[in-house]
Structure 1
Amino acid sequence: MKKNITQILAIVLLLPTVLFAQKYGTRTGTVTFEASVPSFEEVAAENKSVSAAVKASTGDIAVLALMKGFRFKVALMEEHFNENYAETDKHPKATFKGKIENFDVSKLSSTPKAFTIKGAFTMHGKTKEITDKAMISISGDKLLITGDFTVKPSDFEIEVPKVVRKKIAETVNVSYNLLLSK
């Protein structure tokens, strides 16, 4: 009887470790975007409070960025971004839900390896399928995922007024740096 209780207690204590050891997460990921054009003021912003999770056993990945978390060098540009372009009161977040293809955490090392990530990127109430090449490495219990992709504001029905249309690139470069822990 005592042996059974000890075994049950060991299973109960170890089960959460086994179940949760399969997931990596962060709330301090970084996403930047740039939509600058030559000869005009830089149009760029950074968000350092991006949440992300990766399920190690499947390669499923989810990322969430609150739109009001993007910081610009110029306060007026940030205000215009929130009110006129991203309309953050109506569309407060951007999300990505997808899968890292052929992901096997046991084969990772500190040397970054290229992986294809496919999934749905949702912003401004519109969803677009994205395929991206990301670099992934591991060091101890830290998983690092970096990469970049491009989007067009028009794909998400974001209207750029004619007055500033020539000052904002038609294609926006989005970069991410996610350091996830077990």
Structure 2
Amino acid sequence: MVFILVSACFYGQKYSTRTGNLKFEASMSSFEEVAAENKTASAVLESSKGDLAVLALMKGFRFKVALMEEHFNENYVESDKYPKASFKGKIEGFDASKLSTDAKSFTVTGELTLHGKTKKVTDVAKISKAGDTITIIGGFDVKPGDFDIEIPKLVSKKVSEKIAVTYNLILSK
């Protein structure tokens, strides 16, 4: 029994958050900003394996313009039909015991599921640790077409073909 508890303490350490910050930017110069932020993403890091999972409710993204938020949920990502986006992946070469307050670069590879489609994503994230908190910061680009998200011709010149996604996850034990 003691062995099981010791194993769980040293090898099964999970860090998590329910207040992960996700942002996306799809703006084109000379047009209105197309950007949103979600401050309620959930994330779990299994520190012994470097496994990372992130889940965001699509209706959690907030825009500066309410009408844009409505169009995003109803016409683009179809939030009622596809209510969440998720990422499941691995931090390559991850060793929590070697982290410090100075962020180090790690390659993160996994699968992003959005709008019912799954695509492989690779990113270089900056990861640091202070006390019982691990911070993971990074970003990557996605294309709406890769996830069968159609941008109507009427607004296609106002929305970038590549959408920059950034994340800031502050995970605690």
**Normalising TM by the smaller chain, what interval?**
over 0.9
SS at match of 1:72: coil
RMSD, matched Cα: 1.7
Counterpart CA distance in 2 for 1:148 and 1:73 is 21
- Which residue does the alignment assign to 2:102? 111
Residues 32-54 of structure 1 show CA distances to partners (whole Å, capped at 9, x for unaligned) of 00000000000000000000000
User: Are 2:121 and 1:138 aligned?
Assistant: no
TM-score w.r.t. length of structure 2: 0.96
Counterpart CA distance in 1 for 2:20 and 2:8 is 24
User: Are 2:3 and 1:18 aligned?
Assistant: no
- Which residue does the alignment assign to 2:23? 32
- In structure 1, the gaps of 5 or more residues are 1-7
CA displacement at 1:16 relative to structure 2: 9.0
What letter is aligned with 1:44? A
Counterpart CA distance in 1 for 2:116 and 2:38 is 19
What letter is aligned with 2:39? K
- Which residue does the alignment assign to 2:156? 165
CA displacement at 1:15 relative to structure 2: 5.3
- Which residue does the alignment assign to 2:85? 94
Counterpart CA distance in 1 for 2:11 and 2:32 is 46
Question: What is the aligned length?
Answer: 173
- Which residue does the alignment assign to 2:120? 129
What letter is aligned with 2:52? I
- In structure 2, the gaps of 5 or more residues are none
Counterpart CA distance in 1 for 2:103 and 2:163 is 25
What letter is aligned with 1:80? H
Residues 98-130 of structure 1 show CA distances to partners (whole Å, capped at 9, x for unaligned) of 000000000000000000000000000000000
What letter is aligned with 1:138? K
Aligned to 2:73, which of 48, 57, 82?
82
- Which residue does the alignment assign to 1:47? 38
- The answer to whether the 8 Å contact 2:12/2:48 transfers is no
Residues 3-59 of structure 1 show CA distances to partners (whole Å, capped at 9, x for unaligned) of xxxxx6xx3995596178611000000000000000000000000000000001000
Counterpart CA distance in 2 for 1:44 and 1:175 is 11
User: Are 2:151 and 1:152 aligned?
Assistant: no
SS at match of 2:154: coil
- Which residue does the alignment assign to 1:4? none
What letter is aligned with 1:126? K
What letter is aligned with 1:132? D
- The answer to whether the 8 Å contact 2:44/2:53 transfers is yes
Misfit runs of 4+, over 4 Å: 12-17
For residues 140 and 169 of structure 1, do their structure 2 counterparts lie closer, same or farther at Cα, with a shift above 3 Å needed? same
